[in-house]
Structures are given as C-alpha cells and as structure tokens.
Structure 1
Amino acid sequence: MKKTQPWVQPLSQLPLSLKPIVAMQQKHYGDVLNPTRWWGRMPRLFWLVALFVGYLERKKARLEPTLRALLMTRVSQQCECAFCIDANSLRLAQRCGAMEKVQALSDWQTSTLFTPAERAALDYADAMTATPPCVDDAMKGALHCHFNDEQITEMTALVAFQNLSARFNSALEIPSQGLCAMKGQNDA
C-alpha cells in the first residue's frame, strides 16, 4: 500500500480544468507530478504558472533547450528543491543525451564541461538566485559577450520563474519523484 503524504491531494479532488495536464503527466511520467497536487488547489494560479513556463519553454524560445534546462537545474540546486532538482535534472540529461553535465553542475565553476556562454549564464543564475540578488556590471558585460538583450531578458524571466517554482516546492517540502534516478538507471 502506497503511503499518502499529508500534502497530497487525491486525484479525484483535482479540478476538472486540470484534466489535460493530469493526462499529459500520467502519459509522459507514468504519474501525476507532486507539485500538481498542491498547485491544483488553485487552478487559475496553476494555469497562469503553466502558461508562463510554457512560453519560456516554447520551440521558438530565444535560449536553446539545453541552456534552459541547465539554468533551471542550477537554480533548483541553489534553492535546495528536491522535486525541481529531480525533474530539471531529468530534462537536462534528456537534452544533453547524457548525465555528465547533470553530475558536474553543482561544481560548474571548476568543471571543463561548460562552455564560456554557459558559464556566464550560470554565474548570472547564481547571482540572481542569491538573496538579495547580487548581479554586477562585470557579470552583465560577460552575458553581453554571448547573448543579446532579448536573450538576457528571457534568461532573466526563466531564472526568476525557476526561483518561484523551486521556492514554492521547497517551502512546502514537495518531494522528489525519482524521475532522474529512473533516467540514470535506464542509461546504465
């Protein structure tokens, strides 16, 4: 018998308006993602958040998919969000085609796996995630060596979104679902 967490809202109590998301998650992950069971208490807020991340992850986004996953995973690490680390690490591994960058990300400053553009973006994400944010002019200059103003704006929105998501999930102690662990086992 599956142990029920006190925060888990039964699927039968999720609003019908979330049925498309629930169906997509069950098809893609084999289960409803843990945050959906909490965010689902406020479906309008859930849809606003889903639309925001959907826009940032669109096919014609200004940032390439691997960089987006890299930034989202790094912010998740900085916020110590178990669920976000898990889900975003899976996304990063899928987009990279391997686990090497996922495993090196917590020590990105000393790893040789990251490009200069990725390093500038990771430095920016770390600075934005600090409380209070500590972005300086040198950091902005380094970003401009690799990214245009529209890309930096989108990057800033992506990092800000991931901070919202990771801090929400971390504050509510929403647990990991073992998504990335499954990826690692499948690759072995």
Structure 2
Amino acid sequence: MRISAKKLQDYPLYLRPFFWNQNRKYGMVLKPALLWARIPRLFTTVALLFGALDSRKSVITPSLRSMITVRVSQINWCEFCVDVNSYIYAKRAGEESKLEALSEWRESPLFDEHEKVVLEYVDAITFSDRQVTDAEMEELRKYYDEDGIVELTGLIAFQNMSSKFNSALDVPSQGFCRISSKKT
C-alpha cells in the first residue's frame, strides 16, 4: 500500500465498533477502511453512503449489486475490490461461474438480458472513453423506473470512487476469493 494504516488504537474510539464489526464479518479489518478512517469525517460519510446503496430495500438484487461492483473493480484494476466483492457475490448468489465469465460478459450465455443491459450501463459509465447513450437508457427503463436508475447510477459511481481510491493507493487483495482481477 502506498499509504500506511495507523494502529487500531490510534483511530478515534467512535470508529472502533465499525472495525470490530468488520473483524466479526470478514475475520479481519478491511484495509480500505483503515485508510479512509485516517480522516474520520470522510470515513463516516463513505460508510453512510455505502450503507444506503447496499440496503435491503434496494430495487437491485443483492447478487446483481455485487456483480456490478466486481465489474467496476475489474475495469479499474482494483485487486482489493475484485477480491472482496467477488467473495460477497459468491455468498449472495451461491455460485462463481458468472464471476469467472464476467470480463467476457457480452459473449457469455451465462448472463440474462437484464444483467447484460445493466453491465452495458456499468461499462458505459466506467470506461472513460465511453458515454451513456439514449438507447442504453431506454433499455434500462425496461427494468427500472427513474428512481431505480438513479440508485443504479449511484451504486456504479460509488464503486468507481471506491475502486479508484483503492487502486491509486495500491490496496492489495486480502485473500477472500480466488477470482482474478482481469480488466477487460
């Protein structure tokens, strides 16, 4: 990592329950959390935004949310994000075959039409040489109302921020999942 984490006792007391919860859930504290927590107000804001986007009340299914975060992470070369989000996807979906084919989603018969429409939107937002087209937006409207599209866009934008943050600071994989971080 390009920036070091502080010792746990050097973080504010009010952040330690969050670290305890991560340790309980993942068996360790996540390295990006330790980096964001160097600036407690940023950490709190990021954690609240993530919580809102990963809500049980979301119109986007949990497994699709995880697939989206893995795809964004692949594009942005974030080893940590591919690792942890693949692990979460495998738990939510109960399978890994789609993860193994995710970098070739267009050619794969594993993905249904809904997933392909969403993944096209993910790619259009995430690749810097692309823009979302009116045709892509119309395809999304087959599956989501305007609030759902805003939520989907927010999730993709959040994961872009998160994976770019982790990639820039060279946050390594923490060994959650064996899926590689292939880019394309």
Farther off after superposition, 144-153 or 41-50? 144-153
Q: Are positions 1:35 and 2:46 aligned together?
A: no
1:15 and 1:112 map into 2 onto residues whose CA distance is 49
1:9 and 1:126 map into 2 onto residues whose CA distance is 35
TM-score (norm 1): 0.90
Structure 2 residue identity aligned to 1:53? F
* Residue 117 (structure 2) aligns with: 120
* Residue 182 (structure 2) aligns with: none
> 1:45-77 CA deviation, whole Å, 9 max, x = no partner?
101111101011111112111111111110010
* Residue 57 (structure 1) aligns with: 54
2:52 and 2:125 map into 1 onto residues whose CA distance is 20
1:94 and 1:164 map into 2 onto residues whose CA distance is 24
* Residue 74 (structure 1) aligns with: 71
Q: Which runs of 5+ in 2 are unaligned?
A: 180-184
Q: Which runs of 5+ in 1 are unaligned?
A: 184-188
Farther off after superposition, 28-37 or 4-13? 4-13
Higher relative contact order (CA 8 A, sep 6+): 2
TM-score (norm 2): 0.92
2:124 and 2:69 map into 1 onto residues whose CA distance is 14
Which 4+ runs in 1 deviate beyond 2 A? none
Residue from 142, 145, 153 that aligns with 2:150: 153
Q: Are positions 1:162 and 2:159 aligned together?
A: yes
Kept in 2, the 8 Å contact 1:75–1:129? The answer is yes
**Fraction of identical pairs, as percent:** 42
* Residue 171 (structure 1) aligns with: 168
Kept in 2, the 8 Å contact 1:93–1:101? The answer is no
2:10 and 2:78 map into 1 onto residues whose CA distance is 25
The structural deviation recorded for 1:133 is: 4.6
> 1:11-62 CA deviation, whole Å, 9 max, x = no partner?
1222212111100011111111010111110111101111101011111112
Kept in 2, the 8 Å contact 1:127–1:133? The answer is yes
* Residue 186 (structure 1) aligns with: none
1:132 and 1:69 map into 2 onto residues whose CA distance is 24
Q: Are positions 1:144 and 2:137 aligned together?
A: no
2:65 and 2:128 map into 1 onto residues whose CA distance is 22
* Residue 86 (structure 2) aligns with: 89
* Residue 180 (structure 1) aligns with: 177
Structure 2 residue identity aligned to 1:85? V
1:30 and 1:5 map into 2 onto residues whose CA distance is 23
* Residue 26 (structure 1) aligns with: 23
| Count of matched residue pairs | 179
